[in-house]
Every structure is written in structure tokens, then in C-alpha cells.
């Protein structure tokens, strides 16, 4: 079956532009996560949804970052007034339950480059 998909796969933005990154989780998956992976680093947690509820947004680095999942399925991560330090791969993951992390499946990521 289809896995987690993300779009766009690559995004180049000029500093100061707003960007929107989309995540389509596996159908029926309750939990959805966003991670940020800078070059040469491991992924870092940004935010977590259970259905449409955003239960944890402790990892969002600033108020320029905003995530939503209005219908409990597709999620969008929005970054306003992008800065060069926002350049990273943004990974989305989904899980069928709020149980074990073993069931967390990752998407291919969106590589964001801010010039």
C-alpha cells in the first residue's frame, strides 16, 4: 500500500518568503509527527498530532513555524519569513495508534533550501 508521502520533495525559497510543506500520512493513521533534520544531524522533533489535535508543539523553534491537521488526515507545516537556518530536510511520520514508536513510518522528506 501507499506509504507516507510529502510534497514538494525539494523547495528553494528566498529569505523572507513563506513556505508550506505537505504531509499525506498512511490512510487511517491516528498519529502524525514532524521532524527537522539539519545537514549532518539526526532528526529533531517539531510537533505531534493525534487526529486533528496538536498535542505537543514543544519542538517548534519559533513562532514562525506553524503546523495544522484540520481534518485529522493531511498535515501542513508552514514556515513564515524563512531564514537561512531553516534550511533542512523536514520529515513527516505517521503511526496507526498512539502506542509504540515501532509503528512510526517516515515519509521521504522535503528538502528546504533558503537562500
Partner 1 sequence: EDKVVQSPLSLVVHEGDTVTLNCSYEVTNFRSLLWYKQEKKAPTFLFMLTSSGIEKKSGRLSSILDKKELFSILNITATQTGDSAIYLCAVEGWGQGAQKLVFGQGTRLTINP
Rg (the chain; Cα; Å): 13
Q: What CA–CA distance (Å, rounded) separates 6 from 48?
A: 16
The 29-68 contact track toward partner 1, x by CB under 8 A, reads --x-x-x----xxxxxx--x------xx-x----------
Q: What CA–CA distance (Å, rounded) separates 18 from 82?
A: 6
Instruction: Classify burial at 2, counting beta carbons within 10 Å of its beta carbon; exposed 0-12, middle 13-18, buried 19 or more.
Output: exposed
- Contact between 99 and partner 1 by CB under 8 A: the answer reads yes
Q: Which stretch binds partner 1 (CB under 8 A): 13-21, 67-75, 79-87, 94-102?
A: 94-102
* DSSP character at residue 102: G
Cell numbers given for 7: 510534497
- Contact between 71 and partner 1 by CB under 8 A: the answer reads no
Q: Which stretch binds partner 1 (CB under 8 A): 16-24, 60-68, 70-78, 93-101?
A: 93-101
Interacting residues with partner 1 (CB under 8 A):
4, 31, 33, 35, 40-45, 48, 55-56, 58, 89, 91, 95, 98-102, 104-109, 111
Amino acid at each position: 500500500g501507499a506509504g507516507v508521502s510529502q510534497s514538494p520533495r525539494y523547495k528553494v525559497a528566498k529569505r523572507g518568503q513563506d513556505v508550506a510543506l505537505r504531509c499525506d500520512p498512511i490512510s487511517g493513521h491516528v498519529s502524525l509527527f514532524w521532524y527537522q533534520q539539519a545537514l549532518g544531524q539526526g532528526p529533531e522533533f517539531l510537533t505531534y498530532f493525534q487526529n486533528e489535535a496538536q498535542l505537543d508543539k514543544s519542538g517548534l523553534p519559533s513562532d514562525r513555524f506553524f503546523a495544522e491537521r484540520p481534518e485529522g488526515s493531511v498535515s501542513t507545516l508552514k514556515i513564515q519569513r524563512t531564514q537561512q537556518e531553516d534550511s533542512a530536510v523536514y520529515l513527516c511520520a505517521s503511526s496507526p495508534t498512539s502506542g509504540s514508536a515501532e509503528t512510526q513510518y517516515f515519509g521521504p522528506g522535503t528538502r528546504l533550501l533558503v537562500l
